[in-house]
A and B are shown apart, each in its own frame.
Chain A
Amino acid sequence: MTRHPEVREARLRASLDAAADQSPITDGWDQIRRRVADQTPEVVISESPGPGPRRRRLALAAAVVLAVAGVAGVATVARSSGGDTDSSSVVAGEPASAPTGWYIPADLPPGWTVEGIQVLDGGPRCATRGATWVNDTTKSTLVITHDACVDPDALPIGNPDDEEPIGGRPDEAPPGRVTTEVDVGGVTGTITSLGLLDTRGPLTLNWVDDGLWSAVGSAVTAEELLAAAQTTVDGPDLDRVPLPGFTLFDHWDAPARDTTPEVQVGLRSSEKVLVSYSLQEPGRGTGRGAGAFPTRVDLPGQDLPVIRFTSHDGSWWAGKYAGFWPGADLMGYLFLQEPGDEPADDVVGELFASLRPATTEEWRTFLASAGDHDTAIHEAPTLDDVQPG
């Protein structure tokens, strides 16, 4: 039989009341009083009641950022989320000035040239947050993200209430891909693979639960990916280790935006290899290395933290380096004539070693030297001010 919602709620309350009263409650005042009296003023707890999962996430993200930065005077890292008033700033030392988000190459070897600078518009984007988890033993990666919209109907892929699988039904799989439906905490999700599902990835699992969730696994099985997604669903949120053996590598947030510009700077190396680096709002780094294994590396002359990605099959991943730096996420790309046809020199590493934060004036001088560039970025004093045309 189907009961009226109010009847259901009344039965639920009755059950919870009964469960809460299953046994008598003993008096605890003496113990509380003794413990409070034993506290000396020096051990007074002055903290707030508790940070809550979100603030803990931010603190964790801040800790990770500071740990990888390792540089005195690291500038401000701001993380916030659309629809939330919650935001957090982490300041290590006193920054000389607010970061512009501009980074330009300095001290590149002779023969390098700037080919052009352009602005791409990613369009409106929901608030997003995510985490990268790695297993150093198996060289596996899990990138779990959540895109939330204040208005769920604004999700481009459908209404969460419909619980429709994203990516289509199995018989609607994109050409060359395999999809299968799975249950993620009572919600239908879709696993998509570039090949067979038992190839250990890269695999993508999408599901809708108050926004779009995505788990991308590399060197993991479909079963492991599903288990990781289930752990995320069980909560409290992204701060739980998704699979045994994995550790947190990175964690990020970005607010909702009407436009999400990406500035791309193209260069040609002295060996005529075409490379580029992109600048995006913090938290929007293209892919954040999903599907590849990240490693923190030291590059000669570069004080900012740099991440190098390696693919597992070496054939499809063109982005080799990333810097999640004050004011911008940077991703480095290598353009190959043929997959696997990589130059002997580490040209993207060479480029990333040379990148330095720039003031507005320095950026504009760089633009002038670049010749062909979009006027939208000439007028913007900072990356955050870029308005795609």
Chain B
Amino acid sequence: MAQVQPTQDDSATDDAALDARLAALERLYRSEYRGSVRLARLLTGDEHRAEELAQEAFVRIAPRVDAEDNPAAYLRTTLVNLCRDHGRRTLTVRKNPPAPPDVTPAPGLPRDLGEIWRAVQELPERRRDAVILRFWADLPTAEVARLLGTRPSTARSLIRRGLASLKEVLDNDSSP
């Protein structure tokens, strides 16, 4: 980490603080950026927007990155909020006018995995987010609840209902 040297020159102090922040942010970037983009892809279903949202999350937490006890968790919270805000705007567009579900094609996936991914994307927003955060991000229910701004009992219900909705496709005979 860059050393912050006290000085009478305010601009020099600002520069040193910025260097320290960038150093801390870069360390976080190296460990978390790839996972952040992947999570954003799943929460939004939008590959290109996912990278923008991940970068936006890093920029937003930058001012406090070296003051947070757990910057990775801080980053994840910011990213999930950004993705959910993005999802609400997208859903509003989708709802007017009503149209067939705008589901991201999954041409690169094996057929059965693509079907599962499509089914995940067709879940109601909160169920989808809860399922992804629980089973892909491997977060405990309490953390899923915190990220979704709901009670643990609600998060458990969302996860349970999400899995129930996916049961048919997850049990599909054509799958390995």
Contacts and interface: CB of A to CB of B under 8 A. Distances in A.
A345 B161 CA distance: 54
B150 interface: yes
A16 B126 contact: no
Interface residues of A, number: 59
Nearest to B175: A11
B109 A53 contact: no
A154 to B, nearest CB: 12
Given A16-B136, A240-B88, A36 B170 contact: no
A113 to B, nearest CB: 48
B142 interface: no
A83 B25 contact: no
A186 B161 contact: yes
Given A11-B116, A18-B109, A53-B148, A3 B170 contact: yes
B26 A28 contact: no
A152 B153 CA distance: 9
A240 B109 CA distance: 34
A150 B113 contact: no
A296 interface: no
B106 A32 contact: no
Contacts of A224: none
B22 A37 contact: yes
Interface stretch (A39-47, A262-270, A321-329): A39-47
A22 B106 contact: yes
B102 interface: no
A20 B81 contact: no
Given A44-B63, A50-B81, A236-B88, A19 B117 contact: yes
B157 A160 contact: yes
A28 B33 contact: yes
Interface in B57-74: 58-64, 74
Given A39-B59, A160-B157, A209-B161, 18 more contacts: A3-B171, A8-B170, A11-B113, A11-B116, A12-B120, A15-B120, A23-B47, A28-B33, A32-B29, A36-B59, A41-B14, A45-B63, A49-B60, A50-B82, A52-B81, A186-B161, A210-B153, A236-B149
15 contacts: A8-B163, A22-B47, A28-B29, A28-B51, A28-B55, A32-B25, A36-B22, A37-B22, A50-B82, A53-B148, A54-B149, A148-B153, A209-B161, A236-B125, A236-B148
Interface of A: 1-3, 8-9, 11-23, 25-26, 28-29, 31-33, 35-37, 39, 41, 44-46, 49-56, 83-84, 148, 150, 152, 160, 185-186, 209-210, 231, 233-237, 240, 244
Top 5 closest A-B pairs, CB basis?
A: A50-B81, A52-B149, A20-B38, A15-B116, A53-B149
